[in-house]
Amino acid sequence: MPELPEVETVVRHIRPNVVGRRIESAEIHWKRTVEPLTPARFRSAVKGATVERVWRRGKYIVFDLGGHGSLVGHLRMTGRMQVGASPGAHVVVSLALDDGRGFHFIDVRKFGRLVWARRSEDALPALGPEPLGDAFTADWFSRALRKRHRRLKPLLLDQSFLAGLGNIYVDEALFAARLHPLRPASTLRRPAADRLHEAIRTILAAAVEHEGSTFDRFYRTPEGKPGSYQHKFQVYGRTKKPCRRCAAPVRKLVVGGRGTHICPRCQRAPRSPA
């Protein structure tokens, strides 16, 4: 599933092509994408609206339509967005723009969503701070970790705690901070919390600059190009390969039902309680 860097890349590519453009009409090719509205109500809601702003909240893409409400999109596993001629196959929603081009939501597996709401917050779940935003300070992060007894990996994947992180960048950040994914968050003292805070911000910023990570055939930028941060991975997807820091073989664990990659030497397992 695309994470913060991939979604931010989509927003940056889409924004200059749709902001200021009026939606002339909409075609719905997979009705579940726009639920809970029916296709007819969705078309009526967006027709004539002008896109005033495109922004990201966590893994969600928000299109502000001024007095016509908002569209809130989620790419899920295989969703893509692009502006231009229709690619034909796997298009689930198309919006005709007033410059003759079209905005297209393509989704091979059809898990993605593009929903209309009167206010964007009505369609967004409860989300934690943005990891690259001003509210995500080292002080806040240290205090928030000390209050939670959950293991680090499940906690960092919890979008209500911190918005936008997923499996890839949690694994990479924990490795950079030399922290084991099973360590209880409440046991982190300030130096360790600060290392993790810096690792999250540094890795996400670098991944955004590389236009995200492409590790399968699905994620592409709106221009059809792959991201390149996958070439920077330290542990994710590198099972049995030598750690780039100490040469120990990278291991794959299952934490909270999610495949998790660690260096067993750099990320020491927490001691079990007596």
Which residues have CB under 8 Å from 152's CB, separation 6+? 174, 179, 180, 181, 182, 183, 184, 185, 188, 196
178, 232, 244, 258: the active-site residue: 258
Active-site residue flag, 3: yes
Q: Quick check: is 258 catalytic?
A: yes
Pairing assessment for the beta strands 258-262 and 251-255 based on DSSP bridges: antiparallel
3-state secondary structure of 95: strand
Q: Would you list the DSSP string of 34-66?
A: GTTS-HHHHHHHHTT-B--EEEEETTEEEEE-G
Catalytic residue among 2, 129, 154, 222: 2
Catalytic annotation, pick one of 21, 59, 80, 183: 59
User: Nearest-CA neighbor of 55 among 160, 163, 138?
Assistant: 163
Q: Please, what sign has the CA dihedral across residues 12, 93, 90, 77?
A: positive
Q: Is 56:62 a contact under the CB 8 Å cutoff?
A: yes
Is 2 noted as a catalytic residue in this protein? yes
Distance, in Å, from the CA atom of 78 to the CA atom of 271, rounded to the nearest integer, reads 39
Which residues are identified as catalytic? 2-3, 59, 258
